[in-house]
């Protein structure tokens, strides 16, 4: 948990046999981060500190057999909304798997209580549009995603303008937490969300460079469809459900 997200059950999507920190450093995170140009191995400015909180979660989970029923029961029992992807891209998981997790977090009346994002919106299962936001970095990417039927979550450099149809993430100024807002649940209803990139000065500089490079050159990452096939074929992704333990003030 951190100050921005608030209390949420968390899904960590990571390679089964490589700790998150090592995967991010070596490039093995491609199996779970797919099309994201912000991966550390690409010098892209990802704000997630994989060495801070995840090693213990990974060590606890890596020797346990994956049990989706148990995970869903834990989510329901927690009474907490769900964050799918405290690290890792929801597009790396089969849709049927994601749908079970989303349903486990719903209220008794059926209202969605989760957040999810994918940078692989061009190639992932299109059914994810109903439960996840397309992560975009430029106005051009946003236009493409919206043309494909997605709601978007756009990270931008601070001086870039907010576009028509976007609203600034209310968690940016800690007005509300993600657990209270829950606007980033995909679907066709609701506006798009935009946020200034956050993290250290180094992260912001790397993000700026990645966005500038991708805009200028049209660089594309590997299709997520290969990632999904890899997950299904080799069970390369491990699920971990973690309830918050203490309040943190780090990055989301």
Confidence of residue 222 (pLDDT cuts 50, 70, 90): very low
Q: What is the pLDDT of residue 198?
A: 78
Q: What is the pLDDT of residue 218?
A: 52
pLDDT digits (tens, 9 = 90+) for 198-210: 777 878 888 888 8
More confident residue, 250 or 10: 10
Place of tokens 């093995």: 28
In a domain, 249, yes or no: no
User: At residue 125, does pLDDT exceed 70?
Assistant: yes
Rounded to 5°, the CA angle 213-157-2 comes to 115
pLDDT digits (tens, 9 = 90+) for 94-124: 999 999 999 999 999 999 999 999 999 999 9
Mean pLDDT of 36-45: 84
Q: Which phi and psi (to 5°) does residue 188 adopt?
A: -95, -10
Mean pLDDT of 50-75: 85
Number of domains in the chain: 1
Q: What is the pLDDT of residue 202?
A: 79
Q: Is 65 left (phi over 0), alpha (psi -120 to 50) or beta?
A: beta
> Average per-residue pLDDT in the chain?
83
In a domain, 66, yes or no: yes
d(CA 42, CA 2): 26
* Total-model pTM: 0.81
Q: What is the pLDDT of residue 216?
A: 58
User: At residue 133, does pLDDT exceed 50?
Assistant: yes
In a domain, 166, yes or no: yes
In a domain, 186, yes or no: yes
Mean pLDDT of 218-234: 37
Q: Which residues contact 43 (CB under 8 A, 6 or more apart)?
A: 206, 209, 210
In a domain, 227, yes or no: yes
Helix (H) or strand (E) holding 83: strand 82-87
Mean pLDDT of 27-45: 86
Domain that holds residue 191: 9-242
In a domain, 185, yes or no: yes
In a domain, 2, yes or no: no
User: At residue 52, does pLDDT exceed 50?
Assistant: yes
Place of tokens 């807002």: 181
Q: What is the pLDDT of residue 165?
A: 96
In a domain, 124, yes or no: yes
The alpha-helical segments, DSSP class H, found in the chain are 20-26, 30-33, 54-61, 68-78, 95-105, 139-147, 178-181, 201-217, 224-234
* Minimum mean pLDDT range among 131-135, 162-166, 224-228: 224-228
d(CA 41, CA 28): 9
252 SS3 class = coil
250 SS3 class = coil
75 SS3 class = helix
């Amino acid at each position: 948990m951190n100050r921005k997200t608030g209390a949420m059950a968390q899904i960590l999507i990571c390679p089964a046999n490589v700790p998150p920190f090592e995967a991010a450093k070596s490039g093995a995170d491609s199996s779970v981060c797919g099309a994201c140009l912000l991966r550390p191995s690409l010098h892209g400015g990802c704000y997630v500190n994989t060495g801070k909180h995840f090693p213990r979660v990974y060590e606890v989970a890596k020797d346990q057999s994956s049990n989706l029923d148990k995970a869903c029961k834990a989510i329901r029992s927690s009474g907490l909304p769900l964050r799918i992807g405290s690290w890792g891209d929801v597009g790396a998981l089969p849709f049927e798997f994601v749908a079970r997790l989303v349903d486990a977090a719903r209220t008794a009346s059926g209202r969605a209580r989760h957040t999810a994002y994918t940078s692989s919106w061009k190639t992932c299962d299109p059914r994810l549009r109903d439960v996840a936001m397309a992560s975009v970095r430029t106005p051009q990417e946003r236009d493409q995603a919206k043309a494909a039927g997605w709601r978007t979550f756009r990270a931008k450099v601070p001086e870039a303008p907010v576009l028509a149809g976007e609203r600034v993430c209310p968690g940016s100024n800690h007005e509300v937490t993600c657990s209270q807002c829950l606007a980033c649940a995909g679907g066709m209803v609701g506006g798009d969300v935009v946020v200034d990139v956050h993290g250290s000065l180094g992260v912001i500089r790397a993000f700026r460079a990645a966005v500038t490079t991708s805009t200028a050159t049209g660089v594309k990452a590997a299709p997520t469809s290969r990632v999904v096939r890899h997950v299904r074929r080799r069970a390369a992704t491990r699920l971990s459900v973690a309830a918050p333990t203490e309040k943190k003030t780090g990055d989301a």
